[in-house]
Chains A and B, each alone.
Chain A
Amino acid sequence: MGGFLDYSPGDSFLHRLNPLAKIFLSLMLCVSCFVTDSSVFCLMIILLNIAMAAVAGISSRALAMLRTLIKFCAFLFLIQIFFIKEGSILLSLPFNIYVTDKGFMFSLMMVLRLIGATLPLALMLSITKMNDLSNVLVGRMGIPYKYAFSLTTAIRFIPVFTAEMAGIIEAQTARGVAFDTKNIFKKIGLIFPLCVPLLITSVRKIEGAAISAELRGFNCRKRESGYKSYPFRTADIGVSIFALTLAAAGAFVPF
């Protein structure tokens, strides 16, 4: 099983959509999370994401990512909740630390928005081939190939670097660096020296990719170079209208 950002092959309804429609859908889902003030609506968007992942056949991946996001967001939630002092006190703790209703709601909305905005982008990337994404950005949106390629390459390299970092941590653990400690602060401190090998490996990989691209005539490519066409079908129009409606509903939802 690959990482959530790796392309997952499939022939589902979502896989078959035009890459532009997928980009638009994911952006509108993000927007709807930010324009709404309703935590219930944010929760519904998260559930919609999970349902879409199930349709695309990557529900286990989506749930794994959701678990990771929840862990990270729980940490953010705990930090944030103690910094907002406005509103009526819900919970009083020693050393003048207290939780207010406004603080609770703000922190809750913050983490729900974060989860709701991250999942659709990750979902879109895992059901869209990088080549299709790059071609549609150049061919349909008129973005210069250089920039479209940079964007897709940056995204493609995220799982590569994640695997590289895991390899580096493994190699350092094998030489006695205590990454297997239970102390999270000690672990964070131990990560910093690893930036050196990660940086060096990354620069080497990028340099290799750049040379390889140059050798294959990277600079000769024009807007017309792509041979694949990406027609915008009825399903794509329907999905785009649904996405737009969802974003509008986010702004006006009463609950």
Chain B
Amino acid sequence: MIRFDNVSYSTNGIKIINDVSFELKKGDFTALIGANGAGKSTLARLCNGLLKPCRGAVNVGGFDTALVRTSRIAKFTGFLFQNPDRQICKNRVRDEIRFSLECVMEDRAEIEMRCERTLKEFSLDGERDPFSMSRGERQRLVLASILATEPELLLLDEPTTGLDYRECMHIMECISSINRKGATVLMISHDMEIVQDFAREVMVLNDGELLAHGSTKVIIRNEPLLASASLLPPQITELALRLGEGYENVVTVDDMVSAVKKKRGGAE
């Protein structure tokens, strides 16, 4: 779905992305983690052609992003930005979702059908003014308008920042659901709990260089690697790492409960 071949990107003489190569297959759910200024947002923008690589090639859905217009790539790609207000441009929730669909398709009946379905799925009031909604609701609206287009590739730039736990879980469930239907997801996040719960693969970026790309279970247990990207493992993993033997496979709270019970059972 996405292939980076030795991609470098610089701006104003500063190298932001340095010789990055990786491949994401259809249906992957990958988290992109790294310290602030590591180049995560730039890498995401390279994925849908908003930025063109200075060196190397980015191939998305069979298109070389340097040769195709971003609006063409947007027909099968959804991008959720950190700030939802930049994406909202209509005065009614219904119009906002409809506008998103109009950008990628022409069939009026299909647009109306998808619009109504999305409103129902996301429990949104179609007549509401988006700018009178809370930040979480606006983030949900933007995600709804993206998911209405049924993108094959979903790029998410910190989708849960500033949201409460309930809103956060709601948004992540929606993302997880479209991933289960076959969409590829690349999610930038600083929230290691979210990364651990939802992403199957993790890429670690530091100073524009890809330090690691692999299974979430393996990478979040690699403390030195995470430390080099100014990150800490999720608390449950940190606890498992400190407890040592017998806790190697602990990733979730349930795993920890089972491991503790097993240890206690063994002791008794």
Contacts and interface: CB of A to CB of B under 8 A. Distances in A.
Interface of A: 1, 164, 167-168, 170-181, 193-194, 196-197, 200-201, 204
A204 B149 CA distance: 30
B78 to A, nearest CB: 8
A180 B48 CA distance: 13
A176 B78 CA distance: 9
Contacts of A168: 86, 89
A76 B90 CA distance: 33
Contacts of B89: 168, 172, 193-194, 196-197
B84 to A, nearest CB: 9
A180 B103 CA distance: 13
A175 B103 contact: yes
Contacts of A173: 50, 70-71, 74
A177 B149 CA distance: 13
Interface string B59-97: 000000000011100110111010101111111000000
Contacts of B87: 171-172, 175, 197
B70 A180 contact: yes
A245 to B, nearest CB: 39
A167 B50 CA distance: 11
Contact of A167 (B69, B83, B145): B83
B96 to A, nearest CB: 10
Given A180-B71, A197-B88, 10 more contacts: A167-B86, A174-B70, A175-B79, A175-B87, A176-B103, A180-B69, A193-B90, A194-B89, A196-B88, A197-B86
Contacts, number: 71
A196 B90 CA distance: 7
Contacts of A193: 89-90
Nearest to A170: B50
Given A167-B83, A168-B86, A177 B103 contact: yes
Contacts of B196: none
Nearest to A178: B71
A203 B81 CA distance: 20
Interface of B: 12, 45, 48, 50, 69-71, 74-75, 77-79, 81, 83, 85-91, 100, 103-104, 131, 145-146, 149
Which of the listed residues A1, A168, A174, A196 has the most CB atoms from chain B within 10 Å of its own CB?
A174
**Which 8 A-B residue pairings sit nearest by Cβ, starting from the closest?**
A176-B103, A176-B74, A174-B79, A171-B86, A178-B71, A180-B69, A171-B87, A168-B86
Which of the listed residues A167, A176, A200, A204 has the most CB atoms from chain B within 10 Å of its own CB?
A176
A97 B86 CA distance: 44
A175 B100 contact: yes
Given A193-B89, A196-B89, A200-B85, A175 B74 contact: yes
Nearest to B84: A171
Which of the listed residues A175, A179, A194 has the most CB atoms from chain B within 10 Å of its own CB?
A175
A176 B71 contact: yes
B194 to A, nearest CB: 22
Contacts of A172: 86-87, 89
A169 to B, nearest CB: 9
A201 B104 contact: no
Which of the listed residues B83, B89, B146 has the most CB atoms from chain A within 10 Å of its own CB?
B89
